[in-house]
Amino acid sequence: MLHCRVLYFAYGSNLDSENWDLWCAKKGFDAGSIEPLGPAWLPDHELVFHYQSRLRKGGALDVRPRLGAVISGALFRVHDWEGLDAKEGVSGRYYRRISVTALTDDGRAHPATTYCVCDERVGSFVPPSPAYREIVMRGLSRFGHRHDGFFEAASNVPASASPSAIFAYGTLMRGERNHELLAPQVLRAHGPARVGDAALLQIDWYPGLVLTEGGTVHGELYELHDVATALQELDSYEDFMGYESASSLYRRSLIKTVSSSGSKLAWTYIFLGDAGQFPLIPSGRWSGA
């Protein structure tokens, strides 16, 4: 179980245990002050190199908002923030802490803290050194992540939207009343798909997916050709007002899907209302046409 308020989302050099352990040993901090919990993703953000680091002899990573883009990283439980703050140069106003929402591939969202470069240190693109590239790539591999987003940032290329698939389980499916909202955004239809540890509720004329152990929800998987445009429209339709909003009816999340194309990470919308007020759809299949 991940517990909020003490979680740290790492996306750069702190993903690499070797680099973290060496730094702590050199500076006299306890390397055990952060405890790795597993891979996670920062939604609607991209990596960027616009900060010159003397320590790294080149660019060092930062994050900035970008709808539909996702940053691969990991969640850590923090037992003492002193070492992290020192490594990130908080007292010298190199980086500062910010509150974010991190996603895991079970559909859950986790309030967390990460670091971003202080505004006064942001400049133009600065490529990373070979040594820094190796550290970050080693850290990404540690948590099973690909390096695509990092390579894009290191080449000063805008982040491609990934994941680019959406799991539809209700009125957006083929033949349902609002499929026409999704259809123009579809690049490829993967066909039937399912997600585990989830259940389907009859909310009204539409269903809601909730997370629960042991259940299965059946739906359809679609690849999107313009993820940012599609998500902007679908967020409005699903009444998702952003990760910091307490008024959303649904939350856009990431979830592991299974289809004929194999296992794939995809966007979906999790119902946020009181699940106890609505009847369960035992089959986990919606048919409201």
Residues 190 and 234 in one domain: yes
Task: Indicate whether 255 belongs to any domain.
Answer: yes
Task: Indicate whether 104 belongs to any domain.
Answer: yes
Among 84, 18, 13, 71, residue whose Cα is nearest residue 45 = 71
Q: How many domains does the chain have?
A: 2
Looking at residue 261, its pLDDT comes to 85
Task: Indicate whether 1 belongs to any domain.
Answer: no
Q: The CATH number of the domain where 73 resides is what?
A: 3.10.490.10
Looking at residue 160, its pLDDT comes to 80
What is the spatial distance between Cα 94 and Cα 258, in angstroms, rounded to a whole number? 42
Q: Is the dihedral of CA 39, 44, 47, 53 positive or negative?
A: negative
Which structure tokens are listed for 262? 């194999």
Please give the single-letter amino acid code of residue 82: E
Among 9, 8, 10, 15, residue whose Cα is nearest residue 134 = 15
Helix axis angle for 17-27 and 130-142, nearest 10°, is: 120
Residues 64 and 176 in one domain: no
Residues 48 and 134 in one domain: yes
Residue that is last in its domain, among 113, 128, 154: 154
Residue that is last in its domain, among 154, 187, 219: 154
Among 154, 93, 161, residue whose Cα is nearest residue 127 = 154
Residues 124 and 179 in one domain: no
Residues 127 and 231 in one domain: no
Residue that is last in its domain, among 109, 128, 154: 154
Show pLDDT as tens, one digit a residue, over the chain (289 residues).
344 457 999 999 999 999 999 999 999 999 999 999 999 999 999 999 999 999 999 999 999 999 999 999 999 999 999 999 999 999 999 999 999 999 999 999 999 999 999 999 999 999 999 999 999 999 999 999 999 999 999 999 988 878 999 999 999 999 999 999 999 999 999 999 999 999 999 999 999 999 999 999 999 999 999 999 999 999 999 999 999 999 999 999 999 999 998 999 999 999 999 999 999 999 999 987 5
Task: Indicate whether 160 belongs to any domain.
Answer: no
Task: Indicate whether 285 belongs to any domain.
Answer: no
Cβ contact 205:241 at 8 Å: no
Query: How many other β-carbons are positioned within 10 Å of the β-carbon of residue 276?
Result: 6
Residues 59 and 124 in one domain: yes
Q: What is the pTM of this model?
A: 0.94
Task: Indicate whether 26 belongs to any domain.
Answer: yes
Cβ contact 270:203 at 8 Å: no
Q: Exposure pattern of 185-217 as b/e (b: 16+ CB <10 Å)?
A: bbeeebeebbbbbbbbbebeebbbbbbeeebeb
Looking at residue 159, its pLDDT comes to 80
What is the spatial distance between Cα 169 and Cα 199, in angstroms, rounded to a whole number? 11
Please give the single-letter amino acid code of residue 17: S
Residues 50 and 172 in one domain: no
Which structure tokens are listed for 135? 């550290």
Range(s) of the domain holding residue 39: 7-154
3-state secondary structure 143-207: CCCCCHHHHHHHCCCCCCCCCCEEEECCCCCCCCCCHHHHHHHEEEEEEEEEEEEEEEEECCCCE
